[in-house]
Amino acid sequence: MERPHAGNSRPSHDRERQASPLPLPARFDLICLSHLRWNFVCQRPQHLMSRFARAGRVFFMEEPEWGDGPARLTVENPAPNLWVVVPHLPHGLNQEEIDDAQRALLDGLLQERSISRFVLWYYTPMAVGFARHLAPLVTIYDCMDELSAFRGAPPWLREREAELLTRADLVFTGGQSLYEAKQSSHPRVYAFPSSVDAAHFARARTPQPDPPDQAAIPHPRLGFFGVIDERMDLALVGAVATVRPDWHLVLIGPTAKLNPADLPRRDNIHYLGMKGYDDLPAYLAGWDVALLPFARNESTRFISPTKTPEYLAAGVAAVSTSIRDVVRPYGEMGLVGIADEPGAFVAAIERALREDAPTRLARVDALLAQNSWDATWEAMLRRIEEQMPTTAPHVTAYDGATQDTGATHAPAGMPDADNGRAIT
């Protein structure tokens, strides 16, 4: 049974990249310290940093790569105003030496690129060890995950996060659960749940040729895209494939921190590897149901999967395990099926296959019309402006349009970006 398409229907709002006036060039830079690689899967950092790069320079510093030879930096310029900075460090350094080497490399970057007025944006608390000496205009901790709960997390990560919370002017969280966990740790914590470029993923609603590596896979197709790691319930994936051998599971994305031997292998499970962000709608167009088969463990306790609104924008029915930030609001609104045990998960997929697509899409579009990465970024900028020294220039001077400087709220039933509360 093939998923019914909604013809050429798209969300009622315009393409996101054209919907908001762009800011004039900023008179300061942004330094982002990230545990994620720029060229890894497209996630929250890429969406937000690319938006600042429309206005000013972004230096996106990744975690080190290891090799032989002296410490050095490589700097690439993959997009206008965006530089990806990678430290290369020799093997065998202890943590103090790692911090010292990165501090020296970062200081050299600031001097070489004439970076003097900047906002410092942390994704990883580990970066405090080499960046605590800097004097930014504003320091931001964008907490998108509880990294200390992830497999292989450094034992001192919690200590570094505690220090970062004392240094940060603002704390943003990637979801409601993280907001609730962090709100007592800092006086200025704001929930900014996962957003979506709805127009990009709505391309999947238009019937189109299958990508070559998916074309021969039979229907019904159950799809997933994202990192395949310890957060995925591999036993559940294997059980669904076993119980329903006539269903075909299409898994897109890199494998991380897993032994390949632990991945479930069935004739109806298809690992297609990593795909570009621009290619995802073509794969989604050929899926009957999209899956969020996350394990329920410490590493998923606070996650707010960006793929949830992306699946919905693509027009695909979705089924998830009971991840808190999926249950609230998507499950409670009846937009995503929720189940945990294999039998219940299979039954939820069966219901999704029978759903009336036009009715669901109308409700999805009403929700997503209020949600975009542009709106999220503009709300973040307002918070940054509030923390700017009085002598610093504002960054949200818009070209030829008057912007509402009031609070930007999340969609009904989703956390308010200003105070973390749910709006009903």
User: Which structural domains are found in the chain, ordered by start?
Assistant: 20-191 (3.40.50.2000), 198-368 (3.40.50.2000)
pLDDT value of residue 6:
34
Whether the pLDDT of residue 372 is over 80: the answer is yes
pLDDT value of residue 28:
86
pLDDT value of residue 52:
93
CA dist 35 and 22 (Å) reads 28
Range with the poorest average pLDDT among 15-19, 51-55, 340-344: 15-19
Whether the pLDDT of residue 18 is over 90: the answer is no
What confidence tier does 265 reach under pLDDT thresholds 50, 70, 90? very high
Distance of CA 229 to the CA centre of its chain: 15
- The pLDDT of 391-418, averaged and rounded, is 38
Query: What is the pairing mode between strands 82-90 and 72-79?
Result: antiparallel
Q: Which amino acid does the sequence have at 54?
A: R
- pLDDT (tens digit per residue) in 121-153: 999 999 999 999 999 999 999 998 776 555 666
pLDDT value of residue 150:
59
pLDDT value of residue 26:
62
Range with the poorest average pLDDT among 192-196, 281-285, 342-346: 192-196
Whether the pLDDT of residue 5 is over 80: the answer is no
pLDDT value of residue 390:
75
- The pLDDT of 170-183, averaged and rounded, is 90
Percent over 70 (pLDDT), the chain: 84
Whether the pLDDT of residue 210 is over 50: the answer is yes
pLDDT value of residue 317:
97
Helix (H, G, I), strand (E, B) or coil at 406: coil
Give the highest mean pLDDT range of 10-14, 118-122, 391-395. 118-122
pLDDT value of residue 147:
63
**Number of neighbouring beta carbons within 10 Å of residue 216:** 8
What confidence tier does 419 reach under pLDDT thresholds 50, 70, 90? very low
Q: Which helix (H) or strand (E) holds 326?
A: helix 324-326
Per the DSSP assignment, residues forming a β-bridge with 58 are 30, 82
- pLDDT (tens digit per residue) in 295-348: 998 778 888 899 999 999 999 999 999 999 999 999 999 999 999 999 999 999
| pLDDT, mean over the chain | 85
- The answer to whether 373 and 51 have CB atoms below 8 angstroms apart is yes
The Cβ-side half-sphere exposure at 70, using a 13 Å CA radius, reads 3
pLDDT value of residue 144:
85
Query: What is the pairing mode between strands 82-90 and 65-67?
Result: parallel
Q: pTM for the complete prediction?
A: 0.80
CA dist 88 and 28 (Å) reads 27
Residue 405 has phi, psi (to 5 degrees) of: -95, 15
What confidence tier does 393 reach under pLDDT thresholds 50, 70, 90? low
